[in-house]
Amino acid sequence: MRPTYLEVNLPQLKQNLENIRKHVSPAKVLVVLKANAYGHGVDGVAPFIAPFADYIGVAIVEEGIHLRKMGIATPILVMGGTLPGQLPDFFEYDLTLAASSLDLLTAAEQLAESARKRLKVHLKIDTGMERIGVREYEAEPLLEKSWACRHLDIEGIFTHFANSEATAPRAERLSGFVEAKLQLKRFQEVLSMYEKRNQPQPAIRHMANSGATLSLRESYFDMVRPGVLFYGVYPARDIEKTIEVKTALAWKSQVVYSKITLPGRGVSYGSLWQAEAPTRTVTIPCGYADGYLRRMSNQARVIINGKSYPQVGRVCMDQFMVNVGGDDVRVGDEVTMLGEGIAPEELADWAGTNEYEVMTNISARVPRIFVGAVQ
């Protein structure tokens, strides 16, 4: 195995889920496993966590198919945009469709009728994200069509927050808080159409993502959808931490080369860093092809033998260098790039991005070791 690997603590993920479930009860919990389980490795995370989840959320139909081929039986909602030509896969693999337009809902009903199969559907309402979904002020025709569908099981209806991270009490004056409340009001107005037309509301109404799960109880409805929160990361630095979660990742490697770098000798491409005096620099076999982002050059730090050291020079595709000063760091010594006090938030700051990008960019070529997996 490569000396560079990702260690995933599965029992910690389960504990995060249990803490979330306790907080939102009696609402159900949809666990988001898109993007390779936020970089954690879906092949190890899904079999372990699926028995404890009420629903699983993915972004694209291929992710849902992969889970079914793995033997995952938990209901799976494909939350992203879908083309009509992809609908047969939903029937074949028992996936739940996010009906984000009247045309898609109509096509699903027609295919269900001709195939003589039923399909579970969640109606997607756009209350302010402007991504996919029928806007709340245009939702009535979609609802009317759903009431007329005889070959679909309209199981759910949902929307997505654009600014829920700003719902912490101390952020009430921020525009994001006002926007989140407005989106909630718009979704409630759509739900009120059912009562006005004497129609039963779908069994699963859902809106709350990670931010709203922490801070906006009114948005729980029947199910919440924690994404980054399930993985132990809070969606904003100043959000009220009403649920205790911890990260489950440790990204590690080993020193593969150790040498003394003399003053005036540039380190890595572009010679962005030079030593001011003879100093020991070591090489780590990990680079931006592994997800250790190039934008972190001369910003990051790592832990070696319990001590923090700065990354120096430009991060290469497959390697980067670290300045260990006068310390005796040798080939084979363990290196921690994430964990042991280095949080995803720090990598995000060094890269000028967010924690979501940091985690989902950890390449599939980095082996995953799943701690606590069922043998």
- Separation of alpha carbons 315 and 203, rounded Å: 50
Q: CA quadruple 8, 35, 24, 171: dihedral positive or negative?
A: positive
Element (H, E) at 349: helix 344-351
Q: Are 102 and 145 in contact (CB under 8 A)?
A: yes
Q: For residues 221 and 207, is the Cβ–Cβ distance under 8 A?
A: yes
Answer yes or no: 269 catalytic: yes
**Which has the closest alpha carbon to 367: 14, 41, 16, 12?**
41
Neighbours of 343 (CB within 10 A): 16
Tell me the C-alpha distance between 217 and 228, whole Å: 18
| CA-to-CA separations, 112 to 34, 74, 96, 143, 282, in angstroms, rounded | 26, 21, 13, 18, 61
Residue with tokens 């494909």: 78
Taking CA atoms, 217 is separated from 113, 181, 224, in Å, by 39, 11, 10
Q: Do residues 37 and 260 touch, judged by C-beta distance below 8 A?
A: no
User: From the candidates 34, 124, 145, 252, which is the catalytic residue?
Assistant: 34
Is the bond preceding residue 26 a cis peptide, omega within 30 degrees? yes
Which residues have a Cβ under 8 Å from the Cβ of 296 and sit 6 or more positions away?
Answer: 311, 315, 347, 350, 351
CA dist 267 and 287 (Å) reads: 15
The token duo for 197 is 């037309």
Q: What is the C-alpha to C-alpha distance for residues 243 and 266, in angstroms, rounded to an integer?
A: 47
316: its two tokens: 């290469």
Active-site residue among 137, 241, 269, 307? Answer: 269
Return the sign of the alpha-carbon dihedral for residues 15, 45, 231, 351.
positive
Is residue 5 among the annotated active site residues?
no
CA 49/CA 174 separation, integer angstroms: 36
Point out the residues that are catalytic. Answer: 34, 269
